[in-house]
Structure 1
Amino acid sequence: MSLQTEVDQLIAPYKNLVSICMYDTDELVYSHHSHQQMPAASLIKLAILATELERNEDLSQLIKVKETPAVGGAGVLKLMAQSEWSLADLLALMISVSDNYAANAVIDHLTMQVVNQWLAVNHYQETSLQRRLMDVEAKVSGHENLTSAFEALRLFRGLMAHYPKSTQWFLNQQFRGKLPLLMDETATDVAIYNKTGEGPLIDHDVARFSKKGHYIDVAVLTQGFTNRLTAISLMAQIGQLVYRSL
């Protein structure tokens, strides 16, 4: 049975809740609602990272994070007393521990306008940055960060291809409880690079599974699962199928 058929069977009961895009190296091999916009959650950090790295700034420059309001959710920066951090450290925290405070500091450094200009210039039509992370007031007023499975995977693949430094941040991602869930402790023969996102009724993951020079990239975005364990289990099973197909 092909990988595509197996994924079809897995998602059959949840087709309206799931978007998927999958590449085997450079060949698009699976797509399901891949251009459907969804709240991006932390996947918007891929757009922030791509915008920043393309500017070729000095990543050793210090950023005064105290000028950005601290926020909750994922991350450790809010717990630290240090008031200045290198731009490289903020980007590493934004990806490897999905640090919302670090992400907001980078947004303030760049401005939302610059991120959205970069997205427009690079022909991203389904991805936009409309608010800082964890900005509840902005969300209530209708400002939502958006992306799709296709564009989230395009961002991720671009970063993996053009910015080697970022690959280490994805490889050392601390949130492994979705696509890589069923193989983290035992799959020593495969390297997994990923970035997750989550929010109310939202669970996303974008990942590369790489084994002996062969890699498969996959984005799975979900919205509307009332039982979150069902969404996570589905993503973990998709990840396992991808791993077995390598």
Structure 2
Amino acid sequence: MVHVPEDKIVEGGILCHLAQRDWMMRDILDLMLSDSDNTATNFLIDFIGFAKMAAWFEAEFAHLHLGRYLMEVTDRENYLSAETALELLERLLADPSPFGQVCQKALFYQESVNKLLQDLPEGCSYSKTGELEDTEHDAARIFAGDSYYDICFMSHYTGLEEREQILLAQNAVGKLAYQDLTGK
């Protein structure tokens, strides 16, 4: 069990709406992945240590930089390439440890399915989405039987009309991948 202090609660996700502040660590990890909960993510960054996590990311991944906490207003920025997002997804899905199993379950039950997974049946994917006021990202493994595609779709938009077009494109890519896998 861990305690999430009230002064560490930020917008984005479910923890900012709940009164409960004591959680099992596996639930915090699940909320970070399945619900994209910003408080859960920041809690895990603090739990490991910001500098330690940032250094590990820099050492392990060429195109992943932790520059700030989520929802922090600063001139520092986080960044992640599509290639690195897919590498992270592949690592998590290949991890047989209890940690990997928690991550896999959270990615399987992703709450946000309005992007690559919009037109797909339940139970055919693992996914991690991300969004800001001007971005819509999704990294997913879409599968049918033993065959799969790993797809990352990262976007930047400047208005609601562009956002709508990006979401439609993400929907189409996911649907085409699934149709190719199933022959339908």
- State the TM-score, normalizing by the size of structure 2: 0.89
CA RMSD of aligned residues (A): 1.5
The secondary structure found in structure 2 opposite 1:195 is strand
Partner of 1:166, secondary structure, is: helix
Whether 2:40 is the aligned partner of 1:66: answer: no
Give the number of aligned pairs. 175
Deviation, 1:115, is 1.3
Which protein has greater RCO, CA pairs closer than 8 Å, 6+ apart? 1
Distance in 1 between residues matched to 2:46 and 2:175, nearest whole Å: 38
Query: Equivalent residue for 2:18?
Result: 80
Greater mean deviation of Cα atoms: 195-204 or 63-72: 63-72
Q: Does 1:113 align with 2:51?
A: yes
Please say if residues 26 and 102 of structure 2, whose CA atoms lie closer than 8 Å, have aligned partners that are also in contact: no
Structure 1's 96 and 210: CA in aligned 2 closer, same or farther, altered over 3 A?
same
Q: Are residue 235 (structure 1) and residue 170 (structure 2) matched? A: yes
Which residue of structure 1 aligns with residue 180 of structure 2? 245
What is the correspondence of 1:178-193 to structure 2 with a 5 Å cutoff?
178-183=115-120, 187=121, 191-193=124-126
Which amino acid in 1 is paired with 2:172? Q
Secondary structure of 2:8's counterpart equals coil
Q: Which residue of 1 aligns with 2:104?
A: 167
2:154 is matched with: 221
Structure 1: state its 5+ residue gaps: 1-61
Matched to 2:89, the amino acid is: F
Per the TM alignment, residue 79 of structure 1 is displaced from its structure 2 partner at its CA by 2.0
Match of 2:66, SS? coil
CA distance in 1, matches of 2:102, 2:2: 19
Residue 144 (structure 1) aligns with: 77
Give the SS at the match of 2:65.
coil
CA distance, structure 2, for counterparts of residue 200 and residue 211 of structure 1: 33
Counterparts of 1:8-19 in structure 2, within 5 Å, are none
Instruction: State the shift of 1:114 in Å.
Output: 1.5
C-alpha displacement of 1:108: 1.1
| Alpha-carbon shift at residue 224 of structure 1 (Å) | 3.0
Q: How does 1:174-213 map to 2 (within 5 A)?
A: 174-183=111-120, 187=121, 191-213=124-146
Give 1:220's aligned amino acid. F
Runs (4 or more) in structure 1 with deviation over 6 Å come to: none
For the residue of structure 1 that corresponds to 2:2, the secondary structure is strand
2: distance between equivalents of 1:192 and 1:130?
30
Cα deviation, residue 113, structure 1: 1.2
Percent identical pairs in the alignment equals 31
Any idea what SS the aligned residue of 2:130 has? strand
1:10-50 Cα shifts (integer Å, max 9, x gaps): xxxxxxxxxxxxxxxxxxxxxxxxxxxxxxxxxxxxxxxxx
Contact 1:225 1:231 in 2 (8 A): no
Which runs of 5 or more residues in structure 2 are unaligned? none
Per-residue displacement from partner, 1:141-167 (whole Å, max 9, x unpaired)?
A: x21110010001111111111123311
Q: Tell whether 2:94 aligns with 1:157.
A: no
Give the AA of the match of 1:238: V
